[in-house]
Chain A
């Protein structure tokens, strides 16, 4: 066995050393970037929890805001209001969004579907404050602020989210499933109602739940449509109802530390809601994906 004339080194030297060092620096930068984002999340969450902690009593959920400021009081009316508004918004956005998605995947020609998808994406990019002004011009001018106006504004925000999420799961349905059903002589609408919607229900719910989480925290669409301060618990949707986002917004602009604490508490409630819904959505999505990919 011949021996190599010169000893070959596979160690990095000179220029390669520098290149490796640059590589290590850039990898460090990437790790740092991820750490910064995680730190930001951690700091925000910890700030909210720590500052909301002293205000976490049962009274937070049972009492209405103190009319004259100061410590005590609760946000029960805002919780009820937010729940009502988001529920109404979901009621408006869900059917339209799901139907529009069905049209895109089941009936429309590809070009038409692509056009509608573009409209949905652009609608999703409309600044939410503009959505608020739109609904203000449409439903509030000449009338009053009301919960249904606020709900309509939130529905505009939710619509593209629901429609796009539904479209994505409908596209996951294998074409063989559609063909199998049609080949049995089952009509198109029975195929959609009897086969496609049941198999994608989990995915549709996921999209809806994510949209609800997003809507629950939206403030801008409500400023011009449902922001008049009314402390009492009410379910009259023809009037403006107190709600959590607007409550946090107005309290944060006040100089009163007691109100700040209430704002932190409301923020914690809101974030807890969003966390729970997101985790639920994740679970639903995993389940529906399993169902679609493993028969």
Chain B
């Protein structure tokens, strides 16, 4: 029995070896010679060099982006220095420029997006991993991925022509009437453009990204941990709260930070729906601008070279914020391990 199997294995091995070794190769050939060998060495070296150069190009490209952007912002930097970041006015007529209104607009619109998309995305991911019947799972998952594929300019178009008017006529006046006393739900704009609308559009962009990462995270939680929880007589929700979410929380944080990065950097759709403005207002229905949308809105040119340079300074700020946010998220993602999240 054993010998039979051994013989069979040997036969297979020999057959493989015969197929592999070209019969014309003289077995006595010296180990390092022949033109083919040299050609191979050159080929290996060439491929290695070319691919290494391509990889290097990635690094150089990122470096060049950082360098070029900082370089472009230099002239506004030498005029304003760090004071630019805290200056509240953006007045092309009097040539006074500051970034604070746009930092504020970026923060508020991203915050709105994050507050709405966090529960939504986690809920979707939980539905897809824990609840959805097998057949539905794939379809719903792909449809939500399709949401991420809608170009931002199309979402912006929809935001300005469909969502904005709807919000202006229905939701915003209602919120203003009912919750206006809080102070953040001020009088709506007639067009429905403003920070809140921008936040909603950003939500649509952020949700599929965060949901798809969270879905992967939840699938990584070992099934026997979840069974261990259910075997204690806990409900599915108690299991999720007690085991699934704690085991994935740093991953969820990273997913939300990546979503934040997306929201901060989105220019086009936000430009279309945010209304444009340089005042800092606590009314979320009011118009404003984010760093990215201010730059995008000024694409047709600036009135003065100082304004142009200030716009480039905004770009540098956006780049720095974007890089920091992304690096943080990437570092967390790389450290993620669902089994090492001990309390």
A interface residues, Cβ below 8 angstroms from B: 19-20, 22-23, 26-27, 29-34, 36-38, 40-41, 43-44, 47-48, 51, 95-100, 102-104, 106-108, 114, 116, 118-123, 125-131, 133-134, 137-138, 156, 159-160, 163, 183-184, 187-190, 192-193, 213-214, 216-220, 223-224, 227, 245, 248-249, 252-253, 260, 263-264, 267, 270-271, 274-275, 278, 282
Contact = CB atoms under 8 A, between A and B. Distances in A.
Contacts of B162: 43, 47
B299 interface: yes
6 contacts: A99-B54, A100-B54, A121-B330, A183-B20, A189-B47, A217-B153
A107 B51 CA distance: 9
In the A-B complex, list the 3 residue pairs whose CB atoms are closest, starting with the nearest: A217-B151, A127-B265, A33-B123
Contacts of B153: 217, 219, 245, 248-249, 252, 267
B13 to A, nearest CB: 13
B327 interface: yes
**B interface: dominant SS:** helix
Interface in B27-52: 40-41, 43-44, 46-48, 50-52
Interface residues of B, number: 91
A23 to B, nearest CB: 4
Given A127-B267, A219-B268, A227-B299, A213 B149 contact: yes
B10 interface: no
Interface of B: 20-21, 40-41, 43-44, 46-48, 50-55, 57-59, 61-62, 64-65, 68-69, 71-72, 119-124, 126-128, 130-132, 140, 142-144, 146-147, 149-158, 160-162, 204, 207-208, 211, 235-238, 240, 258, 261, 264-268, 271-272, 292, 295-296, 299, 312, 315, 318-319, 322-323, 325-327, 329-330, 334
A271 B151 contact: yes
Contacts of B57: 96, 100
B62 A119 contact: yes
Contacts of A119: 58-59, 62
A22 B146 contact: no
Contact of B158 (A48, A107, A125, A160): A48
B58 A163 contact: yes
Contact of A47 (B147, B158, B204, B295): B158
Contacts of B71: 137
Contacts of A32: 123
A33 B237 contact: no
Contacts of B292: 127, 129, 220
B40 A26 contact: no
A121 B320 CA distance: 15
A26 B144 contact: no
Nearest to B261: A125
Contacts of B312: 133, 137
A119 B258 CA distance: 15
A90 to B, nearest CB: 15
A253 B296 CA distance: 12
B47 A192 contact: yes
Nearest to B311: A133
B242 to A, nearest CB: 12
Given A29-B123, A137-B68, A253-B272, A126 B237 contact: no
